[in-house]
Amino acid sequence: MTVKTFFIGLIASFAFPWLVVVAVPFAKMRAVEIPQYDDVADGKSGAYTPVKSGRVTDGSAVYGAEGCAQCHSQLARPTYAGNDLGRPALAGIAKDPNLGDTRRESNLWDYDKEPFAWIGETRMGPDLSNYGRRMEIRTAEENAKTAEALGVKVEELSVAQKFNPEMAVYQHLYNPRADNTKSICPSNKCFFKKSAVKGQEQPNALMIDPSSELELVPGAEAQRLASYLLGLKRDGEVPFSMNYSRNKKKATGK
């Protein structure tokens, strides 16, 4: 083998897969056409642009830097790749009281505005694609319980009596073993600052101990992360053309 043939071979054997697997997919994926709703099948028109709540880009950066993706995945795999659609509350809610079965595979727009999709390494902890939805359900359940205990309607509960999902996230970030003693999630105590209570407590502070005059104020990273986590709701509706559920029906019945 001459040096010339070596280089030709090396460059060719690398350039072809590089183009096919890395470069061209990168170029195409950055300009993907946005799916459109169809009047006939969906009963409405317009682009499929799901609105995301929370601090997606900031929060995603904190999520990455803390290595959350090492233990948590964020991917509801289609059936050719796994059973995620059947796992409880992973891909959506199987029996949502209002919406029915909301489970679906992850699609490209679920990761919109995140420069790097945190698909994840392992599932040492639960998949977080629908963490925000699970917190929504939990909020409703907790409010219902409190309302029943107090003998009032849920709508009549005061803000202080209602379950605050953001505080629950802060509690988990501060000490995951408070809710679940077997959790191996790291404590992110460094995200919180102990400070003296001055007058009234800060609205988003965790109380350490009512008798001590100290409260834990979540710092910027904690706020971004909590906002990001609570925004993880990936079971919304999709256009008929992208709907792979067995029970899909066209909106107009045609």
| Window 188 to 227, contacts with other proteins (CB under 8 A) | 188-191, 221
Tokens linked to 134: 């699970």
Identify which of residues 82 and 143 has a Cβ nearer to other proteins in the complex.
Answer: 82
Identify which of residues 120 and 218 has a Cβ nearer to other proteins in the complex.
Answer: 120
* Smallest separation (angstroms) from other proteins to the CB of 30: 5
Identify which of residues 121 and 141 has a Cβ nearer to other proteins in the complex.
Answer: 121
Contact string (CB under 8 A) for other proteins, positions 6-25, x = contact: x--xx--xxx-xx-xxxxxx
- Angle of helix 220-230 relative to helix 56-65, nearest 10 degrees? 110
Do residues 55 and 228 lie in contact, with contact meaning Cβ atoms separated by under 8 Å? Answer: yes
* Smallest separation (angstroms) from other proteins to the CB of 155: 32
* Smallest separation (angstroms) from other proteins to the CB of 148: 26
Identify which of residues 19 and 207 has a Cβ nearer to other proteins in the complex.
Answer: 19
* 47 touches other proteins (CB under 8 A): yes
How many of the chain's residues bind other proteins (CB under 8 A)?
85
22: left (phi over 0), alpha (psi -120 to 50) or beta: alpha
Residue count of the chain, please give it. 254
| Cα–Cα dist 166/179, whole Å | 15
* 81 touches other proteins (CB under 8 A): yes
For other proteins, which residue of 40, 43, 67, 156 counts as binding (CB under 8 A)? 67
For other proteins, which residue of 4, 28, 246, 254 counts as binding (CB under 8 A)? 28
Residues in 150-179 that interact with other proteins by CB under 8 A: 176-177
Could you tell me which of 103, 133, 134, 111 has the C-alpha nearest to residue 63?
Answer: 111
* Smallest separation (angstroms) from other proteins to the CB of 214: 16
**Stretch binding other proteins (CB under 8 A), from 42-50, 134-142, 204-212, 230-238:** 42-50
- Decide: helix, strand or coil at residue 195: strand
Neighbouring-strand partners of residue 216: 194, 206
**Ordered alpha helix ranges (H), the chain:** 3-17, 24-29, 39-42, 56-65, 131-150, 165-174, 220-230
Q: Which amino acid is at 68?
A: C
Q: Which residues have a Cβ under 8 Å from the Cβ of 40 and sit 6 or more positions away?
A: 250, 251, 252, 254
* 53 touches other proteins (CB under 8 A): no
Residues in 85-124 that interact with other proteins by CB under 8 A: 86-88, 105-124
* Smallest separation (angstroms) from other proteins to the CB of 196: 21
